[in-house]
Amino acid sequence: MATFTQTVTGVPAKQLPRYEQAAESKHELDWADLVTLDLSKFDAPGGKQALAHQLKDAVHKVGFFYITNFGLEQEQVDRQFAIGKELFSLPTEEKLKYRADLEHGNYNGYRPLGSAELFPGLRDNVEMYNVFKYIPELERTQPEVINEHWQEIEGFQRHIAEDVVQKLLILIAIILELPEDYLTKGHRYDDISECHLRYMIYHARTPEENERYQNLYSRGHTDFGSLTLLFRQPIAALQILTADGSWKWVKPHPGSITVNIADVLQFWTAGYLKSSIHRVVAPPPDQSGLDRLGLLYFLRPAQDLSLKTVDSPLLERLGLKGDEDEAGSIKAGDWVRARVKGNLDKAVAGGQKEKAVLGGVKVKYYN
């Protein structure tokens, strides 16, 4: 295994202030009905099969689900929120030293406030900091607060990448009637890929600003990679576009991670797995004055893998494996970078639109 040689300062890590989670909203919102997978059942006899059975409809029809008992204590999760909070409190000029090369579709590093235009002339209220995997090929200079805690961050990433995500990929392989290691092979921590742990912050807006922005924090979109894991943030804001065309809120259940299927799994399964459209809106009135910190892990496959439909007996039986595979010539890494670049495009008046990304394949955007 490669060893990583990130420069550390030699100065003992500063104490981080304890992160206090916000109180949940008292508003009764129109919550999405999502299944919860208890991952502690994974290693029990027949556990994987039972979990795969539970997951099958959810990943086909909704694309979103919760997981619990994923092997991280709330305290470990809160430490990551504390790192994110510290990072975003740095002066803007300091953060800009670590700006990601967004123009080339590279998300490694800082994405400044207002990078995406939501409506013509109206920019987003989001900052992001993406920490790619700690492998030599992806090394970059990082702010002090990241370097001071890099071993903890790497340990956190590795637990997600080498334990949680591996279990989920095995369940999905079982659903697709593929060998259990079929998907895990393309998602190793030491592969060059764009997987990252993301700290992000949505800055609260005034009620007047929210009105101008039609309450939108982040446009409806699908995610670019294989899976996205969203650590629980009690400030409600995430919504899913459901099959009947209505938006439903995602409830931040204690002790859970919200997981969603992203584009690459949709390509590999000719649409059987749903890369669902979701968006982020202004929180309900009792939380709308709060900045909303986010902690997410974006799983992406080894960059050279093609987006060709996999040889799944299930997909064969369903008649989904046709001769036409328009994404077959696209590489996963190229898809992800094209979509990162696309996020910098100017907003188009009139809302919903479709946009060609690569090789004639298009994506839809929603407000």
Ligand X SMILES: O=C(O)CCC(=O)C(=O)O
* The binder of ligand X chosen from 238, 240, 264, 302 (CB under 6 A): 238
Site for Fe ion in 184-223 (CB under 5 A): 223
Provide the minimum distance between the beta carbon of 228 and Fe ion in the complex, in angstroms, as a whole number: 6
The CB-of-311 to ligand X minimum distance in angstroms stands at 30
For strand 361-365 and strand 109-111, is the pairing parallel, antiparallel, or unpaired? Answer: unpaired
CB-wise, 248 or 321, nearer to ligand X?
Answer: 248
Residue of 109, 283, 294, 342 interacting with ligand X (CB under 6 A)? 294
Does 334 sit near Fe ion (CB under 5 A)? no
187 and 94 Cβ atoms separated by less than 8 Å: no
Please check whether residue 174 is in contact with residue 49, taking contact to mean a CB–CB distance below 8 angstroms. yes
In 3D space, the residue among 57, 66, 37, 60 whose CA is nearest the CA of residue 274 turns out to be: 60
Which listed range, 9-17, 179-187, 230-238, 354-362, lies at the site for ligand X (CB under 6 A)? 230-238
Q: Phi and psi for 197 in degrees, rounded to 5? A: -95, 130
Q: Is 223 in the site for ligand X (CB under 6 A)?
A: yes
Does residue 124 belong to the site contacting Fe ion (CB under 5 A)? no
In this complex, which beta carbon is closest to Fe ion, that of residue 194 or of residue 223? 223
**What's the rounded Cα separation, in Å, for the pair 89 and 201?**
10
Least gap, CB of 260 to Fe ion (angstroms): 7
State which residue, 127 or 223, has the beta carbon closest to Fe ion.
223
- Judged by beta carbon, residue 182 or residue 249, the one nearer Fe ion is 249
Chain centroid, CA 153 distance in Å: 17
Site for Fe ion in 19-58 (CB under 5 A): none
Q: Using CB under 6 A as the criterion, what x/- string covers residues 262-281 for binding ligand X? A: ----------------x-x-
What gap in Å lies between CA 183 and CA 229, rounded to an integer? 17
> Both tokens of residue 45?
């006899």
Binding at 294: pick from Fe ion, ligand X, none (beta carbon under 5-8 Å per type): ligand X
SS3 state of residue 74: helix
Q: Give the nearer residue to ligand X in terms of CB position, either 132 or 182.
A: 132
- Which residue, 191 or 223, has its beta carbon nearer to ligand X? 223
The two tokens of residue 177 are 């009637």
Helix, strand, coil percentages in the chain from 3-state DSSP, rounded to 5: 30, 20, 50
Based on its alpha-carbon atoms, the radius of gyration of the chain, rounded to whole angstroms, reads 20
Residues binding ligand X: what is the number (CB under 6 A)?
Answer: 7
* DSSP state, residue 19: P
Dihedrals phi, psi of 174, to nearest 5 degrees: -65, -45
Q: Does 230 bind ligand X (CB under 6 A)?
A: yes
Interface with ligand X by CB under 6 A: which residues?
Answer: 223, 230, 237-238, 278, 280, 294
